[in-house]
Structure 1
Amino acid sequence: MDCNLRENWKIQHERLHVKHRGHEAMHAEMVLILIATLVVAQILLVQWKQRHNRSYNLVTLVQMWVVPLYFTVKLYWWRFLSMWGVFSVITSYVIFRATRKPLSCRTPRMVYKWFLLTYKLSYAAGVIGYLAIMFTMFGFNVFFRIKAEDSMDVGVVMLFYGLYYGVMGRDFAEICSDYMASTIGYYNMGGMPSRSLTDDICAVCGQKILVDVDEEGIIEDTYQLSCNHIFHEFCIRGWCIVGKKQTCPYCNEKVDLKRMMNNPWERTHVLYGQLLDWLRYLVAWQPIIIGIVHGINFSLGLE
């Protein structure tokens, strides 16, 4: 049996060599086109993100939100489609509440709670998926009499769900963060805030701070940044970790996220956020770049 498999593989390998014999120059040209396209596309995307960050994030978010809908309908992935529908409905309602004027005093905390829940669930799903894949690769599934393909499928699906909804939740949270904070008046992306901040007001949600910085709160504590501005702990964590902001909501001073993480285990959230940002580029723009490469090769007659 093994001899037959090796013989079939050898025959297929020889056929592949015969098919591509004499195409070395063409292959080298295709590799150069791929590298050049990746470099140029990376430069353009970086420049776009630096100069027009909001439009870059919006276009990327639309791609991430709409493209899976096409594939799920085409391939009949009803499980993913149902979860995508539930997430889209709830998130649409949250965005609707976040963009109302005047902004309800309960809206900011509702928005951050929803996206923080999405973030934590996606983080848990990603970790479970990764552990399931490692569990299968090291052969532990044999001890529990679980088929390798079943445990691997569960791991891949959980990892995909975790990373995908993690990216979506963070991007929507960033849009809502900007809009709510600018509506309240204590934050302005382009300049000085339109309202003055008093010592007992949180610049994220606009509500009073009832717990002093040195006191231990029953529900949540009060957090003070290095610029001496104080916030509700949930608000500033939602602003920095979920909303992807690394500046003070009032004065735009740099926030040291590592200093905010008293628990060493919490620092993994920063790394997870960086992973989601990298994945966003990979999923949203990599297929377009590959499509451009194929188009160039086709126009030049390369196969």
Structure 2
Amino acid sequence: MAAGAAVRKAAPVLEAPPQHEQISHTKLSADDEWNLQQETMYKTHRGHESMHVEMILIFLCTLVIAQIALVQWRQRHGRSYNLVTLLQMWVVPLYFTIKLYWWRFLSMWGMFSVITSYILFRATRKPLSGRTPRLVYKWFLLIYRLSYAFGVVGYLAIVFTMCGFNLFFKIKARDSMDFGIVSLFYGLYYGIMGRDFAEICSDYMASTIGFYSVSGMPMRSLSDNVCAVCGQKILVELDEEGLIENTYQLSCSHVFHEFCIRGWCIVGKKQTCPYCKEKVDLKRMISNPWERTHFLYGQILDWLRYLVAWQPVVIGIVQGINYSLGLE
């Protein structure tokens, strides 16, 4: 009995090898999860340097060809180019919004679409109501100024975050940067949408009123005390200070409501007189340097339209070419 007990004591105890705990992604911080994804991607694409060079060349060639094709399309068929671009700008973000569950953007997109659709409906009716032109320009000027403000706030938030000013307010860099990027995106997106819809509405309204024709002579004669944009009488003289708005006279001697001609030139992107089609001197009309930045901001929106509307299409074409060639 004692010998058996001694043997049992001397027998080695076999221990199971230590089990490595599985790392749960739910326990990782956002930075650790990002680093883990980057490490996994690096291991997956290791040794594909020549393939990546081919993909970069394909992307650059496609980008150049697409740019040339879009420029030619815009010069030869500007109306169809603008309509297709506007349709893409309006519909494509809806797909990504629903797919990524961006409900805040979806709610704002829905409100903008409903109100703009109503404004577009009012602008295309015949006969045109006398209140419609001012309603249209008020709405799009409001969108224009709000988008401008959002763009400036977003840009300043990004700059302040990069300079570290967010630490004075005890705001995390990630939160302040996200706020800046989202605000800048809202400003650029709705600024582009508002300008394009304003141009469509201005063409319809001016042609319906009869003082403006895209390709021919005006169908009605313009009186001295009538605004050619909205068709309403001008009650404020040129040398008088109006309570709400003043009266503007262009270099061609035609007079307009201040609100109407600013909406025609700045929001609707029109560079000619609504009646005689003489080129408008915007530097003379917009004398306030702070207001002149609005026109420069409109030019920036035109430059960024390609990046917002057509860049996803170019990337999709590049991905299709890479997939057909077996490049990863």
TM-score normalised to structure 2 length:
0.84
Q: Identity of aligned pairs, percent?
A: 78
Partner AA of 1:231 in structure 2:
F
Q: Spell out, residue by residue over 1:168-208, the C-alpha distance to the aligned partner (whole angstroms, 9 max, x if none).
A: 11111111000000000111111222112122111111111
Residue equivalent to 2:141:
116
Report the Cα offset of residue 27 of structure 1.
4.3
Corresponding residue of 2:47: 19
Q: Distance in 2 between matches of 1:208 and 1:43?
A: 46
Is 1:64 the counterpart of 2:92? The answer is no
1:241 aligned residue: 266
Residue in structure 2 matched with residue 31 of structure 1 by the alignment: 56
Which residue identity lines up with residue 165 of structure 1 in the other structure?
Answer: Y
The 10-residue stretch of structure 1 (42-51 or 170-179) with the greater mean CA deviation from structure 2: 42-51
Which residue of the other structure, out of 254, 263, 278, is the alignment partner of 2:279? 254
Amino acid at match of 1:199: D
Q: Which residue of 1 aligns with 2:312?
A: 287
2:70 maps to 45
- CA deviation string 1:71-127 (max 9, x = no partner): 111111111111111111111111111111100000000000011011111111111
1:94 aligns with 2:122: no
Shift, 1:301, TM fit: 3.6
Alignment of 1:153-232 (within 5 A): 153-232=178-257
Q: Deviations over 1:34-87 (max 9, x none)?
A: 232222211221122122222111111111111111111111111111111111
In the alignment, what sits opposite 1:265? 290
Name the count of aligned residue pairs: 294
Structure 2: distance between partners of 1:14 and 1:51 = 46
> 2:276 and 2:229 mapped to 1: Cα distance?
12
Query: Secondary structure at the residue paired with 1:143?
Result: helix
Instruction: Give the Cα–Cα distance (whole angstroms) in 2 for the partners of residues 259 and 182 of structure 1.
Output: 26
Partner SS, residue 19 of structure 1:
coil
When Rg is computed on C-alpha atoms for both structures, the one with the higher figure is 2
Q: Indicate whether 1:300 and 2:325 are aligned.
A: yes
Task: Give the letter aligned to residue 236 of structure 1.
Answer: I
Q: 1:17 to 1:282 in 2, by over 3 A?
A: closer
1:219 & 1:27 partners in 2: Cα distance?
Answer: 61
Q: What is the rounded CA distance, in whole Å, between the counterparts of 2:216 and 2:42 in structure 1?
A: 66
CA distance in 2, matches of 1:183, 1:155: 42
CA distance in structure 2 between the aligned counterparts of 1:124 and 1:174, rounded to whole angstroms: 21
Deviation at 1:226, TM superposition (A): 1.3
What SS is found at the alignment partner of 1:186?
Answer: coil
TM-score, length of structure 1 as denominator length: 0.90
State the shift of 1:248 in Å: 1.1
Please tell me the residue identity of whatever aligns with 1:248.
C
Residues 120-147 of structure 1: per-residue CA shift (max 9 Å, x gap)? 1111111111111111110011111111
- For the pair 1:107 / 2:127, whether they are aligned, the reply is no
- Unaligned residue ranges in structure 2 (runs of 5+): 1-31
Which secondary structure does the structure 2 equivalent of 1:255 belong to?
coil
Q: Calculate the aligned-residue CA RMSD, in Å.
A: 2.2
- Aligned residue in 1 for 2:24: none
Question: Is there any run of 5+ residues in structure 1 with no aligned partner, and where?
Answer: none
Shift of the alpha carbon at 1:256?
Answer: 2.0
Which of 160, 175, 190 is the matching residue for 1:150? 175
Aligned AA (2:311)? Q
SS at match of 1:231: strand
Equivalent residue for 1:132? Answer: 157
Alpha-carbon distance in structure 1 between the residues aligned to 2:296 and 2:142: 18
Deviation at 1:16, TM superposition (A): 7.8
Q: Please list the CA deviations of residues 276-300 of structure 1 after superposition, one character each: whole Å capped at 9, or x if unmatched.
A: 1122211110111121122223333
